[in-house]
Amino acid sequence: MNWKVLDFEQLTARELYLILRARSAVFVVEQSHVHLDPDGRDETGTHVFAAEDMSRSMPVLAYARIHGGDAEDPEVVVDKILTSPLRRGDGTAHALIERVLAVSAERWPGRSVRLTAPVSLRGFYEAFGFRKTEGPFLEHGMPYIGLTRKSRQSRETSGTSFTPGEQATTYELL
């Protein structure tokens, strides 16, 4: 498996096509969420993905898009998170989130990271130090929640520190 972290301008036409194909396969076909996936935000995002054999029709095994935020909203936002059905449960999703957090810390040090996820994945993200900050709410007909992971500096000053893979000791009820 080959991991890449690329800005939009660095993507080849084939890489972009295969990323959009993977996103469509998961979000539109598998999850039945009919929407225009190329949403105008790809050009300003950082694209983190794993692929095998780019000559195959579906080589993208994991993907996430990251936005660094701005002066008004400095949080890093992660979206379009997916793993191929062929790689679920084998640690690929865990490796993806670790890479996303590493890229976020390197490119935007000191910033919190925010994402939305299905309620069923709450425990997965909490293992990385994310905490529920909003929801539940319906998105695509499914219950979702907003989760935020404070930056390491924020956690150190607040006296709370989590590392990827560490379980939280308290859970907030939905």
- The 10s digit of each residue's pLDDT in 41-90 is 999 999 999 999 877 778 999 999 999 988 888 999 999 999 999 999 99
Q: Which of 79, 88, 69, 95 is nearest to 144 (CA)?
A: 79
Does pLDDT of 117 surpass 70? yes
Where does the pLDDT of residue 105 fall: very low under 50, low under 70, confident under 90, or very high at 90 and above? very high
Residue 163: predicted pLDDT: 44
Whether the link from the prior residue into 109 is cis, omega within 30° of 0, is no
Q: Could you say which of 3.40.50.300, 3.40.630.30, 3.30.450.20, 1.10.390.10 is the CATH number of the domain covering 1-103?
A: 3.40.630.30
For residues 44 and 42, give the distance between their C-alpha atoms in angstroms, rounded to a whole number. Answer: 5
Question: Start-end ranges of CATH 3.40.630.30 in the chain?
Answer: 1-103
Report the alpha-carbon distance of residue 116 to residue 122 in Å, rounded: 10
